[in-house]
Amino acid sequence: MKRIIFLASALAAVWVLGGCSPLEDPALVAPEEILLLSVTGKKQLVANGQDKTVLLARVPKEAGQVIITFTTSAGSFPFNNTKIIKQFADSIQGDYRYARTLLRSDTTKGTVYLTAETPQASRRQTVLFIP
């Protein structure tokens, strides 16, 4: 009985004192806190195979090494669509680290679904390819 009381007290102390960060267990962190995807360039691209926009994925600096894979339902990534963020120094200063990629349109017209994915989270945005 004393062991159960001690264990309960120890767990309560860890919880009260904040002994574990939610970033240590990705299952406890909302996906939007692990990964955020935004289109930082144009949200409407001409469907001519030449127009471009920039996608930016954001992760907290505490997340450690993160592999981010970008996918698209149309168009292409002229450069590598997989980015690895290793160190906080790899990116813009602040509380977050960023991975950026370039999306090039193709001749498909309509809504294009863009995804940034890590092993812990997936985020989606859309752009429009117009005539």
Q: Which two tokens stand for residue 101?
A: 């990629």
Among the ranges given (25-29, 72-76, 77-81, 106-110), the one the predictor scored with the smallest mean pLDDT: 25-29
Structural domains of the chain sorted by starting position, each given as residue range(s) with its CATH number in brackets: 26-130 (2.60.40.10)
In a 3-state reduction of DSSP, which class is residue 32? helix
Residue 36 has pLDDT above 70, yes or no: yes
Query: Left (φ > 0), alpha (ψ -120 to 50) or beta: where does 78 sit?
Result: alpha
Look up the pTM and report it: 0.70
Find, among 100, 62, 60, 104, the residue nearest to 84 by Cα. 100
Please provide the DSSP assignment of 36-96 as one string. EEEE-S-SEEETTTT-EEEEEEEEEGGG-SEEEEEEESSSB-SS-SEEEE--GGGS-SSSE
Residue 68 sits at the vertex; the CA angle it makes with 108 and 42, to the nearest 5 degrees, is 40
Q: Could you tell me the maximum CA-CA distance found in the chain, to the nearest angstrom?
A: 74
**For range 41-57, the mean pLDDT:** 95
